[in-house]
A = this chain, B = another copy of it.
Amino acid sequence: MQRILSTELAGLVEKPGEKVTIAGWVHRRRLLKSVAFLIVRDAAGLSQVVVTDPRTREQLEQLPEESVVEVTAVVTANEQAPHGVELTAPVIHELSRAAVPLPFELHRPALGAGLPAQLDHAALSLRHPTRALNLRIAAAAAKGFREALEAQRFVEIQTPKIVESATESGANVFKLDYFGRPGYLAQSPQFYKQLMVGVFERVFEVGPVFRAEHSDTARHLAQYTSLDAEMGFITDHRDVMAALTGTVAGMLGEVTERTGYACPEVPAEIPAVHFAEALRIAGAPADEPDLAPAHERALGEWARREHGSEFVFVTGYPMRKRPFYTHPDPADPTWSNSFDLLFRGLEIVTGGQRLHRYEDYVEALDNRVGPYAGYLDGFRYGMPPHGGWAIGLERFVARLTGAANVRETTAFPRDLNRIAP
């Protein structure tokens, strides 16, 4: 099919009379008395087609919005039209006709339908520019993640999504029938990425992870895209934080470059506060074991006020609140060599240094290595000090775009109540 994109019309302003073919969706029709306008939407944008011929108008009247058409017409300059060009004397070829009525309209600036209706008809609602933009931002962020890490010698890996035992916690794991035996959907690529540090020193993975979240919130999904990285030969978690800082900057840079979306600046050194100090800043009791959402918000405000930064690291979370593979702070093992990265007052990244000696794992697990034996075997063959992080892509995009619900940042969300479409 020889067609040009709507954005290519701009280059034809000086070529009136030229015949071109465009193709796309019937975005909107305006059927006036003496003339009809057809707005065609393609992946790049909109084009305006002017219909005066009575037969063509009759044809257009039969083509509901979202039908797919190919239009061959004549380039005519018009400063009012998109790209300064409108198309006249069209021949419209119908490629497929949309069913009527549509469950909701797409041509208004905001989608009128509520979120449940949008999700029920995702194939339609995602065509709206506001919804499509979030997915373009997600794609650009993933690309920026990979490119920033490749520039830092990280190698991409693919790891199993069906595992023998829960990695993070047995509570929110999906169970399946694996050739007659029990299997589980991986909650993270945690152990695999650690083991692969033994092969490539630095690795990353962009892939789905699964959490059987039994509560229905605006920030949790049963499947989300995890941007994981892990690196060896570190001194401690601060080396990981430095690599992450450059990576987040690369992600936001790519988002702006590819989508034009205005992103906040990432400081060369993101402000970092120890957990104990974070509690003081947030006005929380000194014996709190973790940060509540209100504390995270207070820290976000503090970072903006004191450092002009939308980002802030909280380091050294108490060991008892971090997973067993976390490396303790050598100076005081109450605390850990871990961190969270808050973005606008919400945790979007969790990371830290991990244990790297087999015997330390055995001790951390109180000798009950049973369910982890298959993974931990690899730690017996020499592993360097290492650490890494995981970013939830959908939550990152929601925070960036201000989406109220993480379901607005993924195409076909999965949750407690939703397994289709």
- Render A129-152 as a binary contact track against B, CB cut-off 8 A, 1 for contact: 000100110110011001000100
B377 touches A121 (CB 8 A): yes
A3 proximal to B (CB < 8 A): yes
Tell me which residues from 393 to 421 in chain A have a Cβ below 8 Å from any Cβ of chain B.
393, 410-412, 414, 416-417, 419-421
Is B383's CB under 8 angstroms from A68's CB?
Answer: yes
Does any Cβ of B come within 8 Å of A356's Cβ?
yes
| Docked-complex contact A410 and B158, CB < 8 angstroms | yes
A314 within 8 A of B: no
Distance in angstroms from A208 CB to nearest chain B CB is: 5
Interface size class of A (residues with CB under 8 A): 35 or more
Chain B min CB distance to A384 (Å): 5
Instruction: Give a binary string over A205-234; 1 marks a CB under 8 Å from any B CB, 0 the rest.
Output: 011101010100000001101000000011
Assuming the A-B contacts A138-B158, A199-B132, A207-B207, are A1 and B234 also in contact, with contact meaning beta carbons closer than 8 angstroms in the complex? yes
Binary interface profile of A, 154-197, with partner B (CB < 8 Å = 1, else 0)?
Answer: 01111111111000000000111111010101000000100110
User: Within the complex, what minimum Cβ distance (angstroms) separates A223 from chain B?
Assistant: 6
In the complex the two chains form, is B123's CB within 8 Å of A381's CB? yes
Residues of B within 8 A of A210 (CB): 161-162
**Chain A to chain B: the 10 pairs with minimum beta-carbon distance, closest first:** A123-B378, A176-B176, A374-B420, A43-B201, A374-B421, A98-B382, A99-B380, A66-B382, A139-B156, A123-B195
Assuming the contacts A123-B378, A384-B68, asked whether A1 and B235 have C-beta atoms less than 8 A apart, the reply is yes
B161 to A136, Cβ gap below 8 A?
A: no
Find out whether the CB atom of B132 lies under 8 angstroms from the CB atom of A385. Answer: no
A114 to chain B, nearest CB (A): 17
7 contacts between A and B (CB under 8 A): A66-B382, A70-B233, A132-B200, A158-B208, A162-B419, A176-B185, A179-B222
Q: 7 new A-B pairs (CB below 8 Å) besides A26-B382, A158-B411, A208-B208?
A: A95-B356, A127-B381, A143-B150, A161-B210, A176-B185, A179-B222, A192-B412
In angstroms, how far is the closest chain B Cβ from the Cβ of A214? Answer: 8
Closest B residue to A421 using CB positions: B374
In the complex, the answer to whether A382 meets B43 with C-beta atoms within 8 Å is no
Known: A158-B225, A234-B1. A416 touches B179 (CB 8 A): yes
Q: How far is the CB of A144 from chain B (nearest CB, A)?
A: 12
Say whether B421 contacts A233, CB under 8 Å.
no
Q: Identify the interface centre among A121, A178, A212, A416: most chain B CB within 10 Å of its CB.
A: A178
A253 to B386 CA separation, bound complex (whole angstroms):
32
A382 touches B25 (CB 8 A): yes
A100 to chain B, nearest CB (A): 10
